[in-house]
Amino acid sequence: MKETDAGFDLDEIAGLFTREGKFLLARWGRPVAPVMFGLADESLSIFRDVVRAVYAHAGHPLAETDPDMGANLITFFVRDWAELEEVPDLDRLTGQPDLPARLSARVADQYRLFRFDAGGAIRACISFVNMGGNLADVHPAQLAETLAVRSTLTFARDVTPSAGLAALIRAAYDPSLPDVATDPSYALRLVARLSR
């Protein structure tokens, strides 16, 4: 099938949201209220500005607070996964017992999990980023953009920011589309919007 103007064809779009044979594309169903832990002040302002820009481009609002959680886009930056053991109620926050040990065993750079509302839309995204390894020398703005983009939709694999991906995210936030889709044919609706 012919590629869209954004550079994605139908199968590529479907593949971005298919994990273990199951298609899921969910977007945020409420304003995003971000908070970040473990950053120096100069980096914190960069991350805040980038998150604001990514969601503005998507056409999705930010908020100072979330009525249920206070913050719903939560990012923890550490130098070693063992630092997460100091986070109060981490098991309850994530629903993932022994998360620091499991991330350390995987030699992971980052980990992300989503929480969903009753209708299936994203209600929270919690990310953990290990700055003590491969990400130590990444420019803060580049890392901020990558993390923000990956939090916008339930991508089935890690994606890299690009103009085409930004267009795809904006298309997925079209107000006429639903907040969640589980049928791969939904990719046709995105292709149609990207081909205009």
Together in a domain, 67 and 162: no
Together in a domain, 9 and 91: no
Together in a domain, 104 and 174: no
pTM of the model: 0.93
State the pLDDT confidence band at 195, using cuts at 50, 70 and 90: confident
Together in a domain, 42 and 139: yes
* Residue from 154, 146, 100 nearest 125 by CA: 154
pLDDT above 60: residue 3: no
Range of the domain at 91: 28-152
Together in a domain, 145 and 158: no
Together in a domain, 58 and 21: no
pLDDT above 70: residue 143: yes
Residue 136, both tokens: 């130590």
Angle between helix 41-58 and 140-150 (nearest 10): 40
Residue that is last in its domain, among 135, 152, 169? 152
Together in a domain, 35 and 122: yes
Alpha helix (H) residue ranges in the chain = 10-16, 41-58, 90-94, 99-106, 140-150, 163-172, 186-194
What's the pLDDT score for residue 1?
39
The CA-based angle 124-19-143, given to 5 degrees, is 55
What's the pLDDT score for residue 6?
57
What's the pLDDT score for residue 136?
84
Bridge-based pairing of strands 180-181 and 122-130 is unpaired
pLDDT above 80: residue 2: no
pLDDT above 60: residue 96: yes
Together in a domain, 75 and 148: yes
Together in a domain, 72 and 132: yes
The CATH number linked to 67 is 3.30.379
Residue that is last in its domain, among 152, 173, 188? 152
Interval 23-81: pLDDT, tens? 999 999 999 999 999 998 889 999 999 999 999 999 999 999 999 999 999 999 999 99
Please state the domain count of the chain. Answer: 2
Query: Is 144 in contact with 51 (CB distance < 8 Å)?
Result: yes
Together in a domain, 93 and 179: no
